[in-house]
Copies of this chain bind each other. A is one copy, B any other.
Amino acid sequence: MPELIRKRYKELIEEHILDFLPDIDHKSITLYESMKYSLSAGGKRIRPMLLLAAAEFTGCKLEAAIPYACAVEYMHTYSLIHDDLPAMDDDQLRRGVPTNHIIYGEAMAILAGDGLQSAAYEAMNKDMLLYFDDPDKLKKRIRASYEIAKGSGCRGMVAGQVADIESEDKACSREMLDYIHLTKTAALIVAAVRAGAQLGGADAETLNNLTIYAENLGLAFQIADDILDVVGSEKEMGKKAGVDQVKKKSTYPSLYGLEASKAKLMELTDNAIEALSSYYDNAEFFTKLATDLAVRGK
């Protein structure tokens, strides 16, 4: 069952992922191509899937959540494009294909990232206009957009990226590492889940439980990624392996060792699952997703 649901979510996202790019004049068409290139380069679509799942879980029609699901994936994609730039992580490969700036050049990659962030807000804002006659639904949409703004912004994803860049080539404390993981990775995952729950009009308790799930999942996700960087192959990851060590990046494996990292991954995964499965009997999708993500880092 959860596999079928996930397939359905994934198909919906793939079907609509380009729908919310504005109609771009042919004089700026490279911008469209560059944004499309990175949006179409695959990826697990974890964040939009979680948004759809949380929306459905809390009673929002799936179709109504699609603009927000795509918006959150636009945010994630813009952050990857900027993250890969020479001035940042200087990565040539992502999801098995050349990174955006390798194909389109640095200037266009910067602008594609800027354009994607802007397209995300334009899509959400435009969607709000459709609900001017339904104040209740309108408010849910504003709350959802605000979750995404907070999670992707200066106290969330962007802050994490800053702390990450500033911690390179330096001894990094465990506290700092947790901060980086919470902001750089978990914040947008939490935002996706909370945005979906806002669309469904979740009560405070459900919102809280979903948040605990997402925080634990987000941290687990990053640790699994770091473990994979040590033990995985380039083929498995679609990008270079062992990069963290070469860059002297502090990670869970480098600060705690591989075994302790695996144990932490399992603990966080259990916490995530428990946050929902103890209270709801229809949380299989969330449980299965957490389990599957953890397996990557085993």
Taking beta carbons and an 8 Å cutoff, which residues of A are in contact with B? 21-25, 27-28, 30-32, 35, 78-79, 82, 85, 87-88, 105-108, 110-111, 113-115, 117-119, 121-122, 125-126, 128-129, 132, 135, 138-139, 142-143, 145-146, 149-150, 152-155, 158-163, 165-166, 176, 179, 183
Contacts and interface: CB of A to CB of B under 8 A. Distances in A.
Contact of A110 (B110, B128, B152): B110
A110 B87 contact: yes
Nearest to A179: B27
Contact of A149 (B23, B125, B146): B125
A146 B165 contact: no
Instruction: Count identical subunits in the complex.
Output: 2
Given A28-B162, A113-B114, A161-B111, A128 B155 contact: no
Nearest to A22: B154
A146 B127 CA distance: 10
B110 A155 contact: no
Contacts of A30: 162, 166
B106 A122 contact: no
Contacts of A118: 117, 149, 152-154, 158
